[in-house]
Structure 1
Amino acid sequence: MTVSGHAIGLLRAQPVPAELAARSFGFDLDRAGRGEAVRLASGASLDPLAGDGAGGAYFVCGGGPVLYASAAGAAGLIGADPDEALEMLIGLPAWRDLLQLAPGAGERQLLAAVAESEKELRARVPDLDAGRSELRDALGFAERSPVELVARLHTALLRTEPGHVLLDTATGRAHGLLDPHPRTPLRETVLAPGRADLARLRDDASALPAVAEDGARRAAVLRAAQFDRRDTDLPLLRRLLAYEAAAPRAGEELRLAAVLVGLHGCAADVPLLREIGASKPAARRGTPAIPEAPAPLAAWARAADEALFGDDPARQPELTWIRLARRQGRTEHARVALLRMLDGAGTSADVLRILSAELEALGDHFQAARAQSGYAALLDKPRERALAARKLTELQRLTGDLPAAWRTLQQVAGMLDADESGRQWRRLGLGRLITAEHFELALAAARAKLTRIARESLSAGAELQSGMGKSAHRSLGMLSQEAKWAVARLIK
């Protein structure tokens, strides 16, 4: 794609200003590239714009803001569009030396930092000011103060996450941020609507249905109430608990609602809490049975609160906020937080397993497969390793990497045969699961016209199916037949 923009068009049409921009201001249109090596985590378009002599590259994201990627593996937005980015580069040619400058720096400190940053450059480019004026005139830029340009730069940098995170295409690892400035924690972003709804409900109880019937809003309100506790909230908490108990899937917020109600130690709440605890075990998971009397009830709630919740949002696991962000539709917030965790996960099998599941829930099968691959590699027991590899095959298939999926799936049977249970797994539910994956992969390969993989996966699946009991064999009949027809059509 050809990137458009008033100044970029003028630069492309005028060789002399273009050469000046490259030589003195680190913006070389002829160095545009690296587009195949990186991509945006959000999936938005990423178009090469220019490069610099230090190995860095400029890209336009989704037809709008400009992102700079350094050779050291950091990236960040530097302008709202190509023209703004180029205007900043001309006014602050040593802008990389200003990245440590705090957004709230005073004008005197800022101007001194800009002057200091340009000392070395002026030694190499004595006519820097003349070149700056010439380039501004050629591109139609007005002269702007360094104070304004630094403010624009900071605004752009702080917009990098969550929508403009750069990934290495091959490994999936995210680039670091260009600057060290603090961002708004995810917990504050996802709690903000809950706090607003909680304040509204405290003033107007009639607004409850509109809020509580939305699971994500209800969860955010309960989280807000967790960190802003008031004795007068008990009637509201009771109603939120009733909504949560009636939800099809009981989760963490049901347990939270039960604890918040229980903390009030009211006798009238004991029957309801015990009924919910009996019918919805999630309401008391990880805690003893709910007591029958108010005083022990309050003690039960305090113990559960101390063990599981508390009133400090900063002490909650990051996954709490990631899951709430996903429920609120903040997909990129959740994705970026998970990727940062994945890149720093190290060798924790449990963390990798959870991250894989969370990324799959977001629909990011590539990153889920990356986490699942790391998880599978850390397992020692053949059966556990085989189950993890089977799941990895599925994720690789959904990603579209069918050769990798077939390589992984071919190892699963051998892992299970090495288990102490021998070959009995083939006749059990596990055998059905693995056989089904063979047929799913054969179908996907046939659609992709990968004849060898389609035929080999179908053949291996048919062999596994033949050793099954009649019930399991029949349950796979339609899937196996569909795979056979797809492969047959492919061969013809």
Structure 2
Amino acid sequence: MTDRFLELLRARPDLAEAAAFPFNFDVSRASHVEDVHLASGASLEPIAGDDTGGTFFLCGGTAVLYASSEGDAVLIADSVGEALEMQIRLPEWCEGVTTDLDEEQLRAVVRVCDEEAKEEFAPELDEQRALLITGLGLPERPLAELFAMAESAAGRTEPDHLLLNSAELCAYRLHASYRMCLRDVVLEPGRGTLERLRAGDPEARAAVAADAVLRAGVLRAAQLDRRDGDLPLLRLLLADECAERSERFEERRLAAVLVALHGREADGPLLGAATAGAATDSESATRWARAEEAKRTGPDAALRNELTWVELAFRQGRIRHARVALIRLLDDTGPHATRLRELSRALEHIGDHAQAARAQFNLLSLQDTAWDRASEAYVLARLERRKGDLPAAGRALERARAAIGLGGTAPEGEASQWHRRGLGRHITEQHLELALAAAESGDADLARATMAHARVLLNTIGKESAKALGRLSTQAKWAVAGAGEVGGGRGGRTGRRAVTRPRGLGVPGDR
């Protein structure tokens, strides 16, 4: 459905002309300097531009995002009407507008700035503003309310309105004051529950005992807000973690650290069970806890802390929040292999394979040994395939084959044993997965070429590894054979008959 304010501007040249100048909302400039999209996947439509190359976008059919030509983007309003109000009644030349000004002070600032604008470039400013307010039917709300709405919108830019460059997948910048603090987002339920626990709320106690994710948030909140009186509830939290019988040990370790730091002899048995005997009395417990605390400091502590909040966001179901944080971290990461590897794996974990592939591509370029290049190349192939770029996956596997010397001189050292170890199985598996995916997408050329390499690999790797890949190998062979019967090449879907699978074989899961 077309917005009524846009319809009015497009239907009435007088309104469109006044909006374009002096208020810099020009519907004839509805295009951006580069291809962009929202990280959330919501719809994005350019609706107007300004004289600096910036663009106003309609997001999800309602909210308005402004993106500059220099790589900055911010949500400015929840509707086109509100965006126009702000452009017309608090125009860009009104400098000195801040949140601490009251209504009269705001009006005084606007009057002074308007007078300067009339003298310099817009002598008919009052008439043009009145024309737009009347013609568009804009309300005459207080300036303080309008400015508060703009500030509120800017603070909600993330996570739903993060703008990405479509070619490089880098995020547009956002002023630090409007950036999302993931830590505060994920700790909000934990902090509230912690206060209820401190007050002795039995319902909060029951909720924490039953919900491991909520308990994780409470423990993190207690870690950041430590109080001497928390020891009894920390003991309960540690007992809950010990009873959980989960493969997650981080919260159990954290709860043990928080209890151990109080140095009470009576906690020896509980701590001994929680730490596998590393802390059994007050002295060993304190020593162990301080050593654990020291691990949380150092050059990589900031990234580890951020990834802690990302993981908690993921467990809470806040995938969009986690994605924004990881993309920002990736944008700020240079040629640092450890950071890139952790970010690649974290992005893959939350399902953003495109951003994971971006991190992995940069990581692969930093590898010095043949073994490491092959190891990171097959991971890149997996990510490219999962994001849907099968030719890119093929190029990544070509780099993996080059690293292990397939078809040429075998590399020396550790990489010379690639076929006898797990690396050979992983590389072969990715060839089979790509051959299958290419066949099912109709790219017969890529499917046949990749399957040819897979056959060589299957004959080279250890028998046990080849046997473990037998089911996938059969699926890939049948799919490639079916694609080949059509004689299609790329785009060979037209007229293609369905591939017949061997009886008893299903569609493989995503690996």
Residue 186 of structure 1 deviates from its aligned partner by: 2.6
Q: Deviations over 1:418-465 (max 9, x none)?
A: 342454312332111110100111111122212221111111111100
In structure 2, what residue type is equivalent to 1:163? D
Q: Is the Cα–Cα contact under 8 Å of residues 35 and 47 in structure 1 kept in the other structure?
A: no
1:482 alignment partner in structure 2: 475
1:319–1:112: structure 2 CA closer, same or farther, 3 Å change rule? farther
Question: Equivalents in 2 of 1:118, 1:320: separation in Å?
Answer: 49
What is the Cα deviation at residue 403 of structure 1? Answer: 1.1
Q: Are 1:196 and 2:192 an aligned pair?
A: yes
1:148 to 2:136 alignment: no
Unaligned stretches of 5+ residues in structure 2: 406-410, 487-511
Secondary structure in structure 2 of the residue aligned to 1:341: helix
Which one of the candidate residues 401, 405, 411 is aligned to 2:389?
401
- Find the counterpart in structure 1 of residue 225 from structure 2: 228
Structure 1 residues 191 and 413, CA, compared in 2 at 3 Å: closer, same or farther?
A: same
Aligned twin of 1:94: 92
Please report how far the alpha carbon of residue 405 of structure 1 lies from its aligned counterpart in structure 2 after TM superposition.
Answer: 1.0
- Aligned ranges 1:18-417 → 2 under 5 Å: 18-34=16-32, 37-94=35-92, 98=95, 101-107=97-103, 110-115=106-111, 117-118=113-114, 121-122=117-118, 123-177=120-174, 179=175, 181=177, 183=179, 185-202=181-198, 203-205=200-202, 207-245=204-242, 246-278=244-276, 290-308=278-296, 317-417=305-405
- Residue type of the alignment partner of 1:336: V
What is the deviation of 1:316?
8.0
How far, CA to CA, are the matches of 1:183 and 1:429 in structure 2?
42
Aligned length: 475
Q: Among 7, 10, 26, which residue is 2:5 paired with?
A: 7
The offset of 1:480, in angstroms, is: 1.2
User: Quick check: 70-79 or 13-22, which moved more?
Assistant: 13-22
- In structure 2, what is the equivalent of residue 464 of structure 1? 457
* Cα offsets for 1:230-254 (capped at 9, x unmatched): 4443332223223223242223222
Structure 2 residue corresponding to 1:430, chosen from 403, 423, 437: 423
Match of 1:285 in 2: none
What amino acid is aligned across from residue 454 of structure 1 in structure 2? A
Q: 1:305 to 1:425 in 2, by over 3 A?
A: closer
TM-score, L = length of structure 1 = 0.89
* Residue 148 (structure 1) shift: 3.3
Identity rate of aligned residues, in percent? 48
Contact 2:360 2:376 in 1 (8 A): yes
Distance 1:475 1:180 in 2: 51
Unaligned runs of 5+ in 1: 279-288
Residues 340-379 of structure 1: per-residue CA shift (max 9 Å, x gap) = 1111111211111111111111111111111111111112
1:187 deviates by 2.1
Tell me by how many angstroms 1:308 deviates. Answer: 3.1
C-alpha distance in structure 2 between counterparts of 1:207 and 1:151, whole Å? 35
Q: Distance in 2 between matches of 1:185 and 1:316?
A: 15
SS in 2 for 1:405: helix
The range that moved more, 181-190 or 369-378, is: 181-190
For residues 120 and 426 of structure 1, the distance between their equivalents in structure 2, rounded to whole angstroms, comes to 75
CA distance in 1, matches of 2:152, 2:465: 59
- 1:281 alignment partner in structure 2: none
CA shift in 2, pair 1:138/1:207, >3 Å: closer
Could you tell me how far apart the structure 2 residues matched to 1:108 and 1:350 are? 54
Q: CA deviation at 1:385?
A: 1.7
Deviates more, 1:198-207 or 1:479-488: 198-207
What is the aligned counterpart of 1:16 among 14, 24, 27? 14
For structure 1, which segment, 86-95 or 404-413, has the greater mean C-alpha deviation from structure 2 after superposition? 86-95
Contact 1:46–1:60, Cα closer than 8 Å, also in 2: yes
- Decide whether the 8 Å contact of 2:271 with 2:285 is kept in 1: no
User: What is the aligned counterpart of 1:450 among 443, 446, 450?
Assistant: 443
- Alpha-carbon RMSD: 2.6
| Counterpart-to-counterpart distance in 2, 1:264 and 1:405 | 53
Instruction: State the match for 2:498 in structure 1.
Output: none
